[in-house]
Structure formats: structure tokens, C-alpha cells
Structure 1
């Protein structure tokens, strides 16, 4: 991790903390950019590209990449405000970002809902598109659910990542305040909150009533698919690494081997393991794997962020971190050939997507539903789906560069 000379917050009453990072690591933008492309694939209906995303080979997926890297980016973007201007101003900076994410969430919902409704209103199709996201009740009686939408007590599936993210952001001032007592206080709070988010674990001990979660809809007991009280663990892990609260792990053969063993050992328990490894060749083992997954669902339950997801992600992240090299040195090609220039161009585009992740994410969620609609009309073949994905990737890159251009405010100081 990079470090700088900004004044660090105190670990205790007088003990200086490790230096906090103030510049972006190329690896941060690279892997968050990759996550954006994976998220587009994962949300495009019936997309065969999803057979090759990380989630098919283990318990963690692009969501962990996005949340972990967001924690790292937040340590840079918001940590400086806390360090330089104090807790009150830092909290105000976080509140402004929460405000932005809140309106991005609402805007994304209304755009997608209007688009799906337009498909149903102005075309005759076999599919009722508002039903593909289970928005029946919203269109049947929008009044109460508009209130629920704005108060985040109505959070339909597909629209639950940004609410999770903004709640975790809102927890940041608390963690920064606790860090003044000591890093043990931050670790204790993060760990305790995560434990009380584990519904399956609490049920085993008869403590299900203590489960920390938010209701997702007023007519059932369904909760937010992404429970922020569970997912804050991976966010604040990334935050702690970039703040210097956690030391960067050493690069050695032992850790590489252990991480590789963890990643490989979890493949047989994954979707690919069930379908491709044991399915055709060992149906008996496949049934045993399915039974194990059912009995131990809480260990890798995505909503509450089960512990095996955390272990799998950290092992995979360590391998990627080592492979990328110190400061991402191995990501940068050396030379002057055509392939080198092509890779540098591709790398620049991936980094740009990673730097503009919020706008790219919102656009990708809209584009994924539109792309799915188009594929319904033209038919899904290997070539049409490949083309749809490539068009989507290109669109994400265009959006990233466009947003960066607007953020640069080129009209300021432009000659008349």
C-alpha cells in the first residue's frame, strides 16, 4: 500500500497510527474496474459469460471486489478529510457522499422501472418486463411504496447494492471516532456488528431475534439482500489496509501456497464443482456437496456475508495482489511493441472505469436490463451474446471517460 505524510489519527492517547495512504494504488482502480465489467455480465439476463466469473469457482464474487476496493478508496478520499479538518468536517464529507449515493439509488430505480414499463406499454412480448424484477406491487399501488422507496423500507432485489453501500459509508464516522480509543475498539466493533448480522449463526443459539438487518418490503419479512451489517466487515478490512491500521501482508512462498490451497479447495464446493466436476462424473459426490451446502449455508450466505466468503476473498485477493507486483508494477507492460501499446491502452481504460465506479455501476445496471431485452428480441446465440457484452464493455468505458471529462470541468478557464 502507498503511504504519505498526512497526520494520522491516534491509535490511543498519544500513540501514533501507521501512516495513512493519500494516493491511489493502480491495483485499486484496476481490480475495481474489472469488478465493474464482471457486474455487468452478472446482471445481464441469461448471459453465458457468467459461467466464467469468480463466483462460479468459489464463494466470493465481484461484489466483494467492489466493496473491498470501495473501502480502500474511502480511506483515501475521506480519511484525508478526517485527518486534516477533524471529525466534524470529515463526517460532513461522508454525509455528502451518502447523499450522492442515495440519489443515485433512487435515480437508478426510476430509470429502470420506467424503461421496463415502457417495454410492456409499447410492445407486445411474451415477457412482462416489470415482473422480471418483481415490481408488480409497486405498479399496482405505488403510493405507499414510494414512501418505502424514499425511506429505504422498500428495497427490491436488484436495487439493494447502493443502499448497503450508503449504510456502510454512514458507519465510517463511528469507526473513525472509535479509532481514537484504539484500533482494538474498531476491530471489536466491526467484529461484533458482523456477528450479530449472521442470522443462521444466531438461530443456532436461539438468538434469532437479535439479528441485525433491515426490512426490504412491508408485506413480508424479507430483508435487504445485501445486509450492510455483515458486508461492513469486508469494507472496513479494505479501509484498514489503506489507512495503515493493518500492515500489508508480506510476499512469501508460504502465504502464496496457503492462499492457493484455500482457493483450490473451495472449487469443489462451488457451482462449477457441483455441475462440471462432480455432476457428469461423480453424481454421488455431487449430492453430498449439495447436502453440505444446504446444511452449512450460513457459512457462505451472501446476504449476511458468511465467513467462508471472507476467507475465500482474502486468499484470492492476496494471490492477485502478489501477481500484480509491488505498486502494480507487473500490470504495466514494458517495451514498445504493438501488443505492449495495446495492453497500455486497455489498462488505461480499465483504470478509468475503476476511478468512476459509482457512475459506471449505475449505468451498467440500467444497460444490463436493456441488453437483456434486446437479446430477448434477437435471440441468444454465442455471437449475439458476445457482441452484446462487448457493446456493454465499450459503453462502460465511454461512460467512465465522459464522467471524468465532466468532473474535470473543462469549461472553467476555457478561452473565449
Structure 2
């Protein structure tokens, strides 16, 4: 049975306590074993290193989000959505918390809290402006489809934008406040709020390495107990409740700051693996009862009362457990030196994962365009497949264009000043 070696999880980046090229042990990595209350975060990725598994699975999450949106009735059978309690959203939020802690945690603890917070807020502003631009693009798409379609009311109600067409001025103000958004535009507002509170996570980590996770668990319990949530325009609520989903984001950050390293013994346990497999199988069976009602009789009534409802809005604990079980299995069979990471088949996913914000926004815009096309043509399974693949190809091409542009501009900026045109 494959095992998670120390260079494996800690190289959810490249060896936390490994020696550097000079033969010296990274003092941050060394601090993992010295004290629980530290003044520096316990980064599990060496400075300057990139963990391709993070990019690979973030790209996979972006692809699955697009597929789930463009063809919710056909192509979702090619994603994890119909095979368990969690879906691509959990994967995206966890990796977002993990990578944010790596990037901005290092900046915060090396350059100071003020500078680190400024960099976090700059990223928050970038996500916010991307959200607003995506809103404008999506509303333009909806307006065009409504104008040319024979069933305009269908798209207005399907995308939950009736208020915008009724009173666009007031709704635009609510959009700026993140209190109004069309269907499928819930992830970026959640990401904005979670990123805005990331400096607080670093402050707690400075006091004690496990304090952020402990505070997050407590806040999650209070959220479920007292129904804490954020409201939306016209007495609604956020589809992804930040008060609950912060648990997954903070858990990702905690793993990046050294928590993952301390979990290696648990992850290497055969008991952990088989419990994870058993839970995944049980979740698969329960999920199948939603699509094949004849299977419902095999689930005892008392068990149904315990597990239902499996609430996505408030990030049900069963969804969290399902994500953890998937993570245990994946880490066993996809080590850091997995040859597949260098495969040309993995390259598109890795590139999309490296430009996650751009790819996500493009995927949401493309998903509505593809969905409207499929609805207008009353398309069958074959056309659903073609539209799905075409959208993925566009996302890959755009990510590759960004990669080329970054290379071209970097080469130009490194050229001698005298060789540059005035």
C-alpha cells in the first residue's frame, strides 16, 4: 500500500524540514519541532518552490465547476458532484486557503504585519474587481439571450436576475455591496470575505500554531447553533455562508502553516485509509438514492433522520468529512514525485490552476453561454459533450496565453535598458 512519506505531504510542497542546497536546515522548518507557540509560521513549502499538485487539483476543481454549471443534467456524471456529499467547491476553497497562507503568510511574517496585510487587501481588491467585471459580462450575456430567445422569462428566473431587470439602479448598489449576484456567482464573494480575514488567521497563528483552527471550529459551532449568516438583497442569504465555509479555508491555511506535517502519522495509518474508503463508499450509496429512489429502502429511517439535511449553504459536517476522506485517498496515491505531474495530459489542468482567478471568471461566463446554447437547441447528450469540451479548451488556451504573456513580458523587462525602444 502506498504511504505518504515525509517529503510527500510536507512537499505539499517540498520538504518542511529538509536541508537546503547549502546543507543547512530551514530555520522555519526546524521550528516545527521546537515549540507550539512561535513567532514565525511553520511553512510546509520551501521558499521559491511550487507544488504542482496544488495547481493540478485547483485546475481540476475549476474544470468541474464549469462542467457542473454548463450541463447540470448530463455532464455532472463526469465530475465528483454525483458521487458523494462534497464537490469541486470544497476542493477550490481548501486549496485557496492553503495557497493564500503560503504566499501571504510568508510576506506577513517576513515583511511585517502591516505590509503583509496590505498585500492581502490588494489581492482582495483584485478579486473584488474581477467579481464586478464578471457580473457586467454575465448580465450582458443574459440581456442578449433574453432579447433573442423565445423564452426570456425562463432565463431571467433561472439566473435569479429578475430584480436587476426590474430596478437596475438599486440592484447595482447592492451588487457593489456583494448583496446581489446572479446564479453561479457565489464563490468569488465568499473568497473575498475569507481573504479579508486572512490577516486575523496570521495573528492567531503567531500566538499559537493551532489557535486559528481552534477559533475556526468554535465559530463554526456557533454558526450552526445560532444560525449565523450574511443576508442578501430582498431578505435572502448567501448560498455559501462565510461563517460556516471559513472552517475549510482556515483548515487549508492551518495545513500550510505546518498542520499538515503533523498529520502525516495519522494519514499513514492503514486504519485511516480504510475508514476513508468506507466513508466514501457509504456516501456514494446515499448519493445514489437521490437518483435511484428504489435504493432508499436500504437506508434505515433513524439514519435518514441523523444525516439529513446535508446542507451545502452551511457546509454540513458530512461534506467536510467527505472532503477529508477524498484527501486521504488522493494523498496516498498521488505523491509529490508522481510522474503524472509531468505528463502532457496534466499540463492543461496545471496551467488553469496557476491562473485560477482568470480561469474561474472565464468559466462562469462560458458556462452561461454554453447553457443558453444547449437550452435553445434543445440539445442531446452529444452536443452537451461538445460544448463542455469546447469550453475546457477555451479555458486552457486562455491560461496558456497568460503563461506566454508572462514569459514575454518578463523577458522584455530583464533586457538591458539601452536595448529598449523609447
Shorter chain as denominator, the TM-score bin is 0.7 to 0.9
| Contact 1:324–1:330 (8 Å) recurs in 2 | no
Q: Does 1:187 align with 2:187?
A: no
Distance in 1, matches of 2:199 and 2:353, equals 25
How many Å separate the matches in 1 of 2:151 and 2:318? 40
2:242 counterpart residue number: 228
Following the alignment from structure 1 to structure 2, what is the Cα–Cα distance between the partners of residues 156 and 373? 15
What residue in structure 2 maps to residue 339 of structure 1?
none
Any gaps of 5 or more consecutive residues in structure 2?
1-9, 17-25
Pairwise CA RMSD: 2.5
CA apart distance, 1:332: 4.0
Q: Which residue of 2 aligns with 1:264?
A: 281
- Counterpart of 1:273 in structure 2 is 289
Map 1:138-177 → 2, pairs under 5 A: 138-177=164-203
Total equivalences in the alignment: 385
> Mind listing any 5+ residue stretches in structure 1 that lack a counterpart?
203-209, 334-343
In 2: Cα distance, 1:400 partner to 1:115 partner: 22
Q: Is the 8 A contact 1:20 1:242 kept in 2?
A: yes
Report Cα offsets for 1:199-252 as digits up to 9, x if no partner. Answer: xxx2xxxxxxx43211111x22x2100011211111121211122134242434
Q: TM-score, normalised by structure 2?
A: 0.84
CA, structure 1 residues 99+252, in 2 after alignment: closer, same or farther (shift >3 Å)? same
Query: What is the DSSP-based 3-state SS (H/G/I as helix, E as strand, rest coil) of the residue aligned with 2:259?
Result: coil
Aligned equivalents of 2:82 and 2:305: distance in 1?
Answer: 17
1:401 to partner: Cα distance: 1.2
Structure 1 residue aligned with 2:79: 53
Q: Provide, for residues 281-307 of structure 1, a one-character-per-residue CA deviation record: whole Å limited to 9, x for no partner.
A: x45347x67x96576435x31111111
CA contact (8 A) 1:41 1:47 kept: no
Match of 2:264 among 249, 254, 260: 249
SS of corresponding position for 1:180: helix
What's the TM-score once normalised by structure 1's chain length? 0.85
Q: Equivalent of 1:18, from 31, 34, 42?
A: 42
Q: 1:304 aligns with which of 296, 311, 314?
A: 314
Using the TM superposition, give the Cα deviation of residue 258 of structure 1 relative to its aligned residue in structure 2, in angstroms: 1.4
Which structure 2 residues correspond to residues 109-148 of structure 1 after superposition, within 5 A? 109-121=135-147, 123-128=148-153, 129-148=155-174
Q: C-alpha distance in 2, partners of 1:309/1:396?
A: 28
| Distance (whole Å) between structure 1 residues aligned to residue 78 and residue 186 of structure 2 | 24
Whether 1:394 aligns to 2:393 is yes
1:329 match: 338
Confirm whether residue 356 of structure 1 aligns to residue 355 of structure 2.
Answer: yes
1:77 is the counterpart of 2:114: no
CA distance in 1, matches of 2:305, 2:140: 38
- Indicate the residue corresponding to 1:205 in structure 2: none
Contact kept? 2:43, 2:258, Cα under 8 Å? yes
1:14: how far off? 5.4
Change (3 A) 1:254 1:112: same
Residues 1:303 and 1:85: Cα distance change in structure 2 (over 3 Å): same
Structure-1 residue corresponding to 2:3: none
Matched, 1:34 2:60: yes
* CA–CA distance in structure 2, aligned partners of residues 95 and 103 of structure 1: 12
1:321 Cα deviation from its structure 2 partner:
1.1
